[in-house]
């Protein structure tokens, strides 16, 4: 692609991506029947080309999606999946998974009556 077209595409992407989609945000709910949050999760959001990247940097977990909602939904479900997976393997975790589990344990709380 010629350089001029790349610049035009980047400018168009910057215009199409709303200004308030980048930066810091908080997730107050995981949309999970099994787990809630004891406190909001701080995430970073970046619009890159034609996708959004959201990161829960404290737990070293990030996801992307075509829309901001898609990226956040995937991150929320990934937090739950990762937590369950790490808890099941807890005695045999390496340094990074162990650190991720310790971080997630400070945020996730099991709901008293989880729906199946």
Tens digits of residue pLDDT in 52-62: 999 999 999 99
Within a domain: 14: no
Quick one: which of 32, 112, 105 has its CA closest to 75? Answer: 32
pLDDT at res. 14: 38
pTM for this predicted structure: 0.77
Alpha helices (H) in 42-108, listed in sequence order: 68-88, 95-105
pLDDT at res. 55: 97
Q: What is the mean pLDDT of residues 84-90?
A: 94
Per-residue pLDDT band at 6 (split at 50, 70, 90): very low
pLDDT at res. 20: 52
Residue 76 exposure: Cα atoms within 13 Å on the Cβ side: 19
Within a domain: 115: no
Tens digits of residue pLDDT in 32-56: 999 999 999 999 999 998 999 999 9
Quick one: which of 74, 72, 76, 80 has its CA closest to 110? Answer: 80
Within a domain: 50: yes
Residue 107: alpha-carbon gap to chain centroid = 14
Within a domain: 2: no
pLDDT at res. 113: 67
Could you tell me the residue range of the domain that residue 60 belongs to?
19-110
The residue count for the chain:
116
pLDDT at res. 91: 86
Quick one: which of 47, 52, 88 has its CA closest to 70? Answer: 52
How many angstroms separate the CA atoms of 76 and 36, rounded?
A: 11
* Residue 11 scores a pLDDT above 50: no
Domain count, the chain: 1
Within a domain: 94: yes
């Amino acid at each position: 692609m010629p350089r001029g077209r790349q610049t035009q595409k980047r400018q168009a992407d910057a215009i199409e991506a709303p200004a308030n989609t980048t930066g810091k945000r908080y997730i107050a709910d995981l949309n999970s029947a099994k787990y809630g949050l004891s406190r909001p999760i701080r995430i970073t959001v970046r619009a890159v080309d034609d996708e959004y990247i959201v990161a829960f940097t404290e737990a070293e977990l990030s996801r992307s999606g075509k829309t901001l909602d898609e990226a956040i939904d995937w991150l929320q479900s990934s937090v739950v999946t990762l937590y369950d997976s790490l808890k099941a393997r807890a005695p045999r975790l390496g340094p990074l998974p162990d650190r991720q589990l310790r971080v997630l344990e400070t945020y996730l709380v099991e709901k008293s009556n989880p729906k199946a």
